[in-house]
Amino acid sequence: MSWPGVSQRRVATNGIELNVAEAGNGPLVLLLHGFPESWYSWRHQFEPIAKAGYHVVAPDMRGYGKSDKPHEIEAYNQVEVRKDIIGLIDALGYDEAVVIGHDWGAPTAWATALHHNDKVRAVGALSVPFMPRSPVPPMAAMREMFKGQFFYQLYFFEPGVAEAEFEADIRMALKKFLVMAGGETDLTQLPPKGPDDDMFSSLPAPETLPAWLSEEDLDFYTEEFTRSGMRGPLNYYRNHDLAWKLTEGAPEHIDQPAFFIGGLKDGVIMMAAEAYQAMPNFVRDLRINELIPDIGHWTQQEAPEKTNEIILRFLKEIDG
């Protein structure tokens, strides 16, 4: 599926090639998607940001869409993913960029700002607040926290298991996953799961799609993941401990101008409530910090007009 005014090409960076979708001319704004998405999850942002005078670029992250898909699990650790984005800035012919990320793209955006303040002049994140490096290995902490319970990130950890469930019926799996995390779903009413349960068996098949997700949108995502498979995207979840080891001694404060947007009904915001409350202590120039009522996890898709208004307000504030 094409999108009006948006072109695509492949760009070499960090030893691989990323497919990028882009529009406009001017200072560079990078938009980084999360799981299980694509450049297309930013479809509503291209036109308004480009019209405001920026070069908007949204890559398919490594492992996704038409981008390269290294086989090794370790290739998807956040240090390597961060290098993709820093290399992309150079490959596109820029010295610096504004980097904005959603879901897994958010920690990547935060990390590029944290480790490369010469290349990232401002940063924005949707859904996932900034968290400094954990004092303990994250997988052990996660297993202790969710002992005796189902937790999707622990379920995703074993190679091949979640791939098989997703790929048995990609369209239905994506439909269930996207609707489950949207603002229309009351997460407190979902059936409880034990540690040995799977992801989708107990989730009811949605009878209708929410207004923010059309059949054509779902068709696009289905085609992308049917072609690319789920191994690369799921590998992001298998590198928590490796990324932790590789970032020993990392700085704890972000000093560039920053903004944060989340959905008031987002399960990630609920789960990361402590990190969200502490974020202003670590993000020292947090210009905008807003939770949008009535939406869930898919911030820029569920509330495109509000998301665009906040992004444009932030860009105007940093650029005048």
Instruction: Indicate which residue of 103, 116, 217, 266 is catalytic.
Output: 103
CA 258/CA 3 separation, integer angstroms: 28
SS (H, E, C) the chain: CCECCEEEEEEEECCEEEEEEEECCCCEEEEECCCCCCHHHHCCCHHHHHHCCCEEEEECCCCCCCCCCCCCHHHHCHHHHHHHHHHHHHHCCCCCEEEEEECCHHHHHHHHHHHCCCCEEEEEEECCCCCCCCCCCHHHHHHHHCCCCCCHHHHHHCCCHHHHHHHHCHHHHHHHHHHHCCCCCCHHHCCCCCCCCCCCCCCCCCCCCCCCCCHHHHHHHHHHHHHHCCHHHHHHHHHHHHHHHHCCCCCCCECCCEEEEEECCCHHHHHCHHHHHHHHHHECCEEEEEEECCCCCCHHHHCHHHHHHHHHHHHHHHHC
Is 90 annotated in the active site? no
Is 196 annotated in the active site? no
Which amino acid appears at position 215 of this protein?
Answer: E
- Residues involved in catalysis: 103, 297
